[in-house]
Amino acid sequence: MTQSTIPSVLVVEDDPDLRQTIGESLEAQGFAAALAVDATDALERLRAFAYDALVVDLNLPDANGMEVLAEAVARYPQIRPVVITGFGGVSEAVTAMKHGALEFLIKPFQLTQLAGILKGAVEQLRLKEENAELRAQLRERFRFDSIIGRDSTMQHLFSTLELVAPMNSTVLIQGETGTGKELIARTIHHHSPRADQRFVAFNAAAIPESLVEAELFGHVKGAFTGAVAARVGRFELANRGTLFIDEVASMPLSLQTKLLRALQEREVERLGESKPMKVDIRVIAATNTDLRKMVKEGTFREDLYYRLNVIPVTLPPLRDRREDIPLLAQHFAKKSCRENGVAGKPIAQDTLRVLMAYDWPGNIRQFENAIEHAVAMSLTATEIRPESLPEDVRLGRDTSNAMPSLAIPDEGVSFTSIVSKVERDLITRCLEKTGGNKRQAARLLNLSRTTFIDKLQRLNVEAVGAA
């Protein structure tokens, strides 16, 4: 965290007066304070934003504050938490410390004391190394083999993989480019009874159309011009193992017919040879294209689609599982440091905020490359800072919040009116997002509350509610 960055703190307290008082006190001490009324509200906020610090009441209406504390520390190992309570003794304090709390304050306490604790903790944040044991626990708890995720869709995926892997059924993996389809296929194979046999990968889009059939089914010597020797096809290579067909949507219709027969009969014929041979394989196919749409358009065989789509597995894009980003960032940073022989280092909270705000059009593949770039650019630093990230990620060029292009007429434009309109639109959207809460809207715009109020008045923006 740089000195120019305003430290953020999440205050979780069900008493509205005390919650407001703590928030205002911390803001007066230079913090950007977000206020949560209960554990549910707090957990939702923690999934969407990487706070620098946490103040949590032990007694909440819907849960024990210790649960919020544990979730916050598990998600963000560097967050600086303080537990407050009107009741409690030594045992509660010890439990809170074991869960990662810095301090355990009994109400009533001095607001200056709380601010002092948080200031000191945040000041040490950038020098604090991640706890290796905790990271190991996180990896074991939120991964299936080498797949990492705590998002609900990923947990459902893990459950599906556990059920599917021991079977022999055909699997169709669907997802955008870079979501890790081959990794999922390899995971299924390595958790199946075929794990000690070959996993053969075949990318239908990476091979010229004229050679796809020979690559897939093999050929005898002289089968076509250039066939100077016999070749074993991927189906044969994968016998008793698993055949992974990536980009299956790119296969020409003529070859789709032969693939369908191979799947139905579990037998193939080499080009130039009329003798079929039986194969014992499991087929896993993958695509980043909507096959159902292709079926309707007549570019993909309907019968082949149903033959492949026995067990569908859909991988979510990274932008739909942002709560996994901190965990993924820690994993890939450690992996890159290990592979390059450099000492591990923590990822700053504001770096996590940048990573969580980006839309990641290239998904996991792009994300891992970005982290490797950041590690390389941070060799002389004590932590991974936002400025070490690739420029497109740092500037958010691919996000939906990008500034729309503006045509400039010959007569020019009114700079003041355009900038005012942009400011008004941003402020209005943030107020709508926060239900009219000015403090929260100011936080979303990284503005002080005073500056935000000044802009409301100057731009004559009507705020919904009053907060």
Q: Tens digit of pLDDT for each residue in 219-245?
A: 777 666 666 677 888 999 999 999 999
Range of the domain at 453: 403-467
* Mean pLDDT within 23-29: 92
Q: What was the pLDDT predicted at 148?
A: 83
Contacts of 213 (CB under 8 A, 6+ apart): 255, 258, 271
Mean pLDDT of 385-398: 86
pLDDT at 404: 53
- pLDDT category at 189 given cuts 50, 70, 90 is very high
Contact 150, 316 (CB under 8 A): no
300 and 209 together in one domain = yes
Assigned domain for 66 exists: yes
| % of the chain surpassing 90 pLDDT | 48
411 has a pLDDT exceeding 80 = no
Q: How many CB atoms lie within 10 A of CB 339?
A: 10
In this predicted structure, the answer to whether residue 128 has a pLDDT above a threshold of 50 is no
Verify that 114 and 201 share a domain, yes or no: no
Q: What is the pLDDT of residue 402?
A: 46
Mean pLDDT of the region 426-440: 78
- Within a domain: 146: no
Query: What tokens does 180 get?
Result: 């890790």
378 & 391 share domain: yes
Residue 202: what pLDDT?
93
pLDDT of residue 406: 62
d(CA 22, CA 17): 9
What pLDDT is stored for residue 131 in this prediction? Answer: 39
CA–CA distances in Å: residue 413 to residues 87, 409, 420, 457: 62, 7, 13, 24
- Residue 343 identity (one-letter amino acid): A
Residue 400 has pLDDT above 50, yes or no: no
Looking at the structure, do residues 282 and 174 belong to the same domain, yes or no? yes
Which residues make Cβ contacts (< 8 Å) with residue 149, sequence separation at least 6? Answer: 142, 143, 155, 157, 158, 321, 324, 327, 328
Out of 355, 372, 395, a domain closes at 395
Average predicted confidence (pLDDT) for the chain: 85
The predicted structure's pLDDT at residue 429: 81
Q: Strand pairing partners for 144?
A: 147
Judge whether 174 lies within some domain: yes
Looking at the structure, tell me whether residues 308 and 331 fall in a common domain: no
Alpha helices in 340-460 (DSSP H): 349-357, 363-376, 391-395, 415-433, 438-444, 449-459
User: For residue 86, what pLDDT band results from cuts at 50, 70 and 90?
Assistant: confident
Is the CB of residue 313 less than 8 Å from the CB of residue 174? yes
Rounded Cα distance, 113 and 115, in Å: 5
Query: For residue 405, what pLDDT band results from cuts at 50, 70 and 90?
Result: low
- Segment 345-353 shows an average pLDDT of 91
Is the pLDDT assigned to residue 120 strictly greater than 80? yes
The DSSP code sequence of 1-43 is --TTSPPEEEEE-S-HHHHHHHHHHHHHTT-EEEEESSHHHHH
Q: How many domains does the chain have?
A: 4
User: Is residue 417 very low, low, confident or very high in pLDDT (cuts 50, 70, 90)?
Assistant: confident
Alpha carbon distance 17, 76 (integer Å) = 28
Q: Bridge partners of 187? A: none
This prediction has a pTM of: 0.62
Output the six-digit token pair for 202: 């075949």
